[in-house]
Structure 1
Amino acid sequence: MKARNIVVFGGAHIDRRGRISGATAPGASNPGRWFEEAGGGGFNAARNLARLGHRVRMIGPRGGDAAGDMVAAAAAAAGVIDRPFVFLDRKTPSYTAILENDGNLVIALADMDLYALFTPRRLQQRATREILAVSDLVLMDANLPQETLTALVEAASGDGRLVAGIAVSPAKVVRYRECLAGLDFLFMNEAEARAITGAEAAAVEEWPSLLHAKGLRGGVVTRGGRTAVAFDRHSACIAAPPALSALADVTGAGDALASGFLAARLAGSDLAACLRHGIAAAVLTLGSPFAAAEEMSAEAIEQTLALVPAAEMLS
């Protein structure tokens, strides 16, 4: 596989996750365990793509604190070229989640105010423009402000490079509305697809047409353990994730799917193969206690593909 130049813009912060030990008791104290690591949608994808053999630069705002140092150390460990904008008088953003015993999310709190300071003006700096110019893939997440995402899509378009986005959450995915037509792919779950389209519910086969109608050229809609759909300007396909006996943690699975999909796309794979590679990367992450699985590699994905059912093309 040829190494490609990739730049990721977006969240690189601290993930704190509490996992309930037994049955969840709402409104009560629940025994469990606490875990903390570097995370963020963009940063998870950046680490995955670096472990898949690509040259990855990560650009985003960060505080001048111990949490920011933890993120920098995690970038170095994964082989990511770290290029943060550091605000020395601010704290690094954080995401705090409570998970059920089976790994599914109960509720989460995102303290992300610092990302609002990543304005379009930051994209005009010479070093950033030079990184954009040599990148084969520009990936962003919706932690950034709407105007910054729009400016970034405009700056990244052209020269044959891929431009892609990660939804992050239903509340944040709507920040892409002004630039959907400039994205080659947007990675989202069904709740995020509903936020973009306004559709109350849809069969899996309907998402491509609903999202095309909003201007999106391509994307992937995941549905937990149910069938996922991928589409581009010319085709669409569906594939079911394999049944798993246990989940270590759902955190980062969507970011991993985006990473596996995009790595396959950069290698020239067709849409069905890209979706299966994305699902395989997500399976690796679901079996890991970390949001970016340390065992992620091209070889591990190839082995995991044996578990992923064939994709079905849609008319």
Structure 2
Amino acid sequence: MKQREIAVFGGAHIDRRGRIRGVTAPGASNPGSWFEEAGGGGFNAARNLARLGHRVRMISPRGGDAAGEMVAAAAAAAGVIDCAFTFLDRKTPSYTAILENDGNLVIALADMDLYQLFSPRRLQQRAMREILAASDLVLMDANLPEETLAALVSLASSDGRLVAGIAVSPAKVTRFRKCLSGLNFLFMNEPEARALTETDAGQPENWPPLLREAGLAGGVVTRGGGAAVAFDREEACLVLPPALPALADVTGAGDALASGFLTARLSGLDLGRCLRHGIAAANITLRSPSAVSEEMSASNLEQALALVPAPQMLS
């Protein structure tokens, strides 16, 4: 698989996840365990893309603290080129989640105020312009301010490069509304798609026309263990993820799906094969307790692909 130049803009912070051992008791103390690692939608995708053989730069604000050092170490370990700009007097953003015993999310808290300091003016710096000019793919997540996303899409959507976004959450995906037409693909789950369109598709095959009507040229909508739907300007398809015996952790699965899908797209594969690659990458991550699996590689992705069923093309 040919190595591509990729620039990722967005969240690179600390993920803290508590996992409940037994049945979840709302409003009460629950026994469990605590886990901490580097994370962020953009950063998870960047590390997966690097493990899949690409040359990846991560551009994100960071605090001058121990958490920031942990993020830098994780970038180095994954082979990501770290292009952070550091605010020495600020703390690195964090995401704190509580998971049920089966790995599904109960509730999460995002402390992301530092990302608001990533203004559009930073994109005018010579180093940023050079990174954009050299990239085959520009990927961003909705941790960035709305005006920064719009400016980034405007700058990136030229010269035939691929431009994509990761929704991050229902509360943040609406930051993409002003720049949907400049994205080749937006990756989201059903709650995020509902927030973006302010409607419920009912059936997964209804998402492509609804999202096209909202101004999006292409996208992927995931539904947990249900069928995922992908579309571009010409076609749409469904793929049902293979059943897994157990979930280690759902964190990072959507970011991995975006990485597998975009890797296939950069190789010129059709929509159905791209979605199958995305689901295969997500399944590798779902078997790992970490948001980015150490098992992610081009060879393991090909093996995981054998378990993913053929796509169902939609009219």
TM-score range, shorter chain: over 0.9
The TM-score with structure 2 as length reference comes to: 0.99
What is the letter of the counterpart of residue 308 of structure 2? V
Shift of 1:165: 0.0
Question: Aligned partners of 2:217, 2:130: CA distance in 1, in Å?
Answer: 26
Contact 2:56/2:80, CA 8 A, preserved across alignment: yes
Matched position secondary structure for 2:284: helix
Q: Does 1:246 find its partner at 2:246?
A: yes
- Please list the CA deviations of residues 229-263 of structure 1 after superposition, one character each: whole Å capped at 9, or x if unmatched: 00000000000001111000000000000000000
Matched position secondary structure for 1:170: coil
Matched position secondary structure for 2:172: helix
Question: Aligned partners of 1:14, 1:313: CA distance in 2, in Å?
Answer: 39
- Please list the CA deviations of residues 125-174 of structure 1 after superposition, one character each: whole Å capped at 9, or x if unmatched: 10010000010000000000000000000010111100000000000000
For residues 22-33 of structure 1, the aligned pairs below 5 Å read 22-33=22-33
Q: Does 1:280 find its partner at 2:280?
A: yes
For residues 156-195 of structure 1, the aligned pairs below 5 Å read 156-195=156-195
User: Structure 1: where are the runs of 5+ without partners?
Assistant: none
Q: Does 1:53 find its partner at 2:53?
A: yes
Question: Aligned partners of 1:73, 1:7: CA distance in 2, in Å?
Answer: 19
Q: Does 1:19 find its partner at 2:11?
A: no
For residues 1-315 of structure 1, the aligned pairs below 5 Å read 1-315=1-315
Matched position secondary structure for 1:107: strand
Shift of 1:97: 0.2
Question: Aligned partners of 2:144, 2:224: CA distance in 1, in Å?
Answer: 25
Question: Aligned partners of 2:201, 2:233: CA distance in 1, in Å?
Answer: 23
Question: Aligned partners of 2:39, 2:101: CA distance in 1, in Å?
Answer: 21
Question: Aligned partners of 1:23, 1:190: CA distance in 2, in Å?
Answer: 26
Question: Aligned partners of 2:23, 2:71: CA distance in 1, in Å?
Answer: 32
Question: Aligned partners of 1:202, 1:72: CA distance in 2, in Å?
Answer: 42
- Structure 1 window deviating more from structure 2 (191-200 vs 226-235): it is 191-200
What is the letter of the counterpart of residue 172 of structure 1? K
Contact 2:201/2:207, CA 8 A, preserved across alignment: no
What is the letter of the counterpart of residue 26 of structure 1? P
Question: Aligned partners of 1:25, 1:158: CA distance in 2, in Å?
Answer: 51
Question: Aligned partners of 2:101, 2:163: CA distance in 1, in Å?
Answer: 37
What is the letter of the counterpart of residue 205 of structure 1? E
| Cα RMSD after superposing both structures | 0.5
What is the letter of the counterpart of residue 125 of structure 1? Q
The TM-score with structure 1 as length reference comes to: 0.99
Shift of 1:307: 1.1
Question: Aligned partners of 2:97, 2:201: CA distance in 1, in Å?
Answer: 26
Matched position secondary structure for 1:229: strand
Shift of 1:198: 1.0
Identity across matched positions, percent: 80
Question: Aligned partners of 1:65, 1:71: CA distance in 2, in Å?
Answer: 10
Question: Aligned partners of 2:122, 2:109: CA distance in 1, in Å?
Answer: 27
